[in-house]
Amino acid sequence: MSKFFTVEIKPIIAASKQTVNFGGDGLHDVLFDWTSFQIPKGAHRLTSVAVAFRGSNGAVQTAFEFDLHFAKTVDGVAPVTMGTVNDTMTGAPILTNHIIGKSHFEVGDFGNNGWDYIGSAQTGGGAGTSNIPSLVLQGEPDSGDNVGYDTLYIGGEMAAYDDDGFDFVSTVQVATETATNTTAVVVKTTSALTTFAVGDILHDENDQVIGTIKTITDATNLVLEENCASVSAVNKDLYNINPIKITLSFER
Amino acid sequence: MGYFSVDVKPTITASTMVAHTTKDVLFDWTSFQVPKGANKLISVSATFRGINGGVQTARKFDLYFAKSIDGVAPVTMGVDNATITAAPITTNHLLGQTHFETGDWGNNGWDYIGTATTGGGAGTSNKPDLVLQGEPESGDNVGYDTLYVAGAAAGGIDFGTSVLTTGIHDVSGLSAATIASLDDGSDGDALATKKFAVGDIIHATGDVILGEILTIDSDASLTFRHDGLNGTPVDLTAWKIQNGAGAAGDLANNDELFNINPIKLTLSFER
């Protein structure tokens, strides 16, 4: 058995929280709230974190500072909320009992970030405040969803910026009101090809569930795996509710 | 080879909680247990309670590690929130230290707490690579050794709460283990929900023991355990006289309340 393993996490960011950019209020914002993940039972060393971001409305996701926080249950109780997503970090004092470490990302950790439609970052150079993780993460015994696993939590923090920050705002808009008797979704304004991917779970700007993308036919036509879950009006913006994917690298 | 982590919650005397000046004792030697033998410290994370209901500002601080010598624990670092007066014999006990820069706090965007993790490794930002080994037979149980950690503040760390009593509380006369009508010292909201957590051990100015928070009833009211669990007083009568010699721990007007464990350390080890 390899002494290494990875865990992939796709936190949920509600569509209605993506309609304005993060950090644009000059305050530190919750990027995403505690999201649970499973690791093999016991203590493991986090050696690296890679993060892939969807772009800003069909363009590159600009590099910004952010932090990832790690937590565990205490006596079987999950950490309380970090606060409202895309708002200040109002996590209650009891979180100090749950938090077991963090990873900080500098702008430089995005490397050249030369993507046209996405963004990517990787810990860490180790220079200045660029962080190379070496955290041993260990959950509570019996916290896992299954025998042999423990549950841990990850939450995201956006650094404070004035009028700037991660931007998942979408203007992929409903062109023809969606209908619950068809899998077809017609969009306009911004190309679906540069914004979405097969497997994305789409919600509209009011958090109405649209469905999971089966096929992206072209810039203006999507096919869902099942009939549209909701009727969404013309001009409603559509969002992928998992715009961030985190890959945690562990050594056992 | 494998890994393990150890959580440590040092005690800081309530009467010494407010702003630390330069090179003060942050907390005195606190023992912890590690599996017997030599283990490598590879990372340290620290969580801090905030300042008066706000974020704990990022500050430099140091953690020191020590062991017993011939079964004798290290002597005191000195008085909390005063200069580090540790006696010369401390050099015999010291095993190493870890330094935190303000940058090790990352963005630290919390509203009510603060967090830091070692370390970039650049400049004076420390990435621990410290093998810690206690004395044989020093552990509390077979298979474990005892080590010690202590903290030193470079200045500015502050655990003031601005949760204060209003009026005199004759604890012996209370009908419940509840301290209510708390304010911020100026008739403002005490905002206890933003400063304390259930399970916190609360002492008042002058180190009067109030005990473990059972419930935070409101921003102005705390109720304390007295059910005998976790070493708490076994009933209301015992709660009233827990400050010793049958005396009630009476509270004066404007006594500030403190959580005596405002820091949690998570030590990451490789073995």
Amino acid in the structure at residue A180 = T
Q: What local confidence, expressed as pLDDT, does residue B246 receive?
A: 61
How much is the average pLDDT of A23-37? Answer: 91
Span A135-172, pLDDT tens digits? 999 999 989 999 999 999 999 999 988 878 999 999 99
ipTM of the complex: 0.86
The pair of structure tokens assigned to A133 is 């993780």
pLDDT in tens, B94-151: 999 999 989 899 999 999 999 999 976 666 677 888 999 999 989 999 999 999 999 9
Contact B65, B132 (CB under 8 A): yes
**Per DSSP, which regions of chain A are E strands?**
4-9, 29-40, 43-54, 66-71, 99-105, 118-122, 135-138, 149-158, 172-174, 184-189, 201-204, 209-218, 221-224, 238-240, 244-251
Nearest to B120 among A28, A129, A159 (CB): A129
* Residues of B with Cβ-Cβ distance to A158 under 8 angstroms: 107, 109
Overall average pLDDT of the A110-125 stretch: 89
Collapsed DSSP state (helix, strand, coil) of residue A58: coil
Contact call for A128 and B264, based on CB within 8 A:
no
Nearest CA to CA, how far is B160 from chain A (Å)? 14
Residues on chain B touching A102 (C-beta within 8 angstroms): 45, 106, 115-117
- A148 in contact with chain B, both atoms CB, cutoff 8 A: no
A65 touches chain B (CB under 8 A): yes
Model pTM score: 0.91
Q: Cβ separation of A67 and B196 shorter than 8 Å? A: no
Name the residue ranges covered by the structural domains of chain B.
Answer: 3-159+261-270, 171-255
Q: Given a cut of 90, is residue B152 above it in pLDDT? A: yes
Q: What is the pLDDT of residue B206?
A: 85
pLDDT tens readout for residues A164-222? 899 999 999 999 999 999 999 999 999 999 999 999 999 999 999 999 999 999 999 99
Q: Is the pLDDT of residue B230 over 90?
A: no
**Cβ-contact B266, B45 below 8 angstroms:** yes
Would the pLDDT of A128 be above 70? no
Which candidate, B203, B212, B208, places its Cα nearest to that of B177?
B212
What's the pLDDT at B1? 64
The residue of A109, A134, A150, A252 whose CB has the most chain B CBs within 10 angstroms, and thus the best one to mutate to test that interface, is A134
Tell me the mean pLDDT in the region B66-74: 96
pLDDT of B81 > 80? The answer is yes
Q: How confident is the model at residue B248 (pLDDT cuts 50, 70, 90)?
A: low
pLDDT confidence of A127, banded at 50, 70, 90? low
- Among B112, B124, B129, B260, pick the best mutation site for testing chain A contact (most A Cβ within 10 A): B112
Task: Examine the pLDDT at A131 and tell me if it is beyond 80.
Answer: no
Q: Is the pLDDT of residue B80 over 90?
A: no
